[in-house]
Amino acid sequence: MRVKSDGPQLISAMIQRYLGVDCSVLMGANIAKDIAAEQLSEAVIGYNNLPNAKIWKRLFERSYFMVEMVPDVVGAEMCGTLKNIVALAAGMVDGLGAGERACVRVCVCVCHTEWCVCVSVSVCVCVCVSGTLRFAHGLLHYRA
């Protein structure tokens, strides 16, 4: 995502506009060396065109790399961006030596259809891939 004075611009939308082609997105909380070592990983393909998404899924999916598909390029790209922001914040908290409890306050919880950013131990803000916002009390979706 690129942010300009007139607001955020999705990279996928820029590709579609400038190249005139369908653009899906692949998002996931993965580390390249872990995938290369065939450690269990997962990602989501956000798509507008289902036949194209199925091609991408066949290309990327492996026994150690699970791929889910959602019909929402914008939601998937926004959640991927949010994940990166929260990962930076969690890294800073960890780098400051604030401890695991502080990291719980800055966590990303991934389910197949939503991203949850826990802003405190008692409240999670959940952004569904469709872009709707809801609140969940407690760490209902927390995965260590």
Active site residues: 83
Q: Say if CB 131 and CB 72 are below 8 A apart.
A: yes
- Interior CA angle at 95 toward 93 and 137, to 5°? 20
CB atoms within 10 A of CB 70: 20
d(CA 56, CA 107): 29
Buried residues in 81-109 as b, exposed as e (16+ CB within 10 A)? bbbeebeebbeebeeeeeeeeeebebbbb
Place of tokens 């065109």: 49
Question: What's the number of CA atoms in the CB half-sphere (13 Å) around residue 76?
Answer: 24
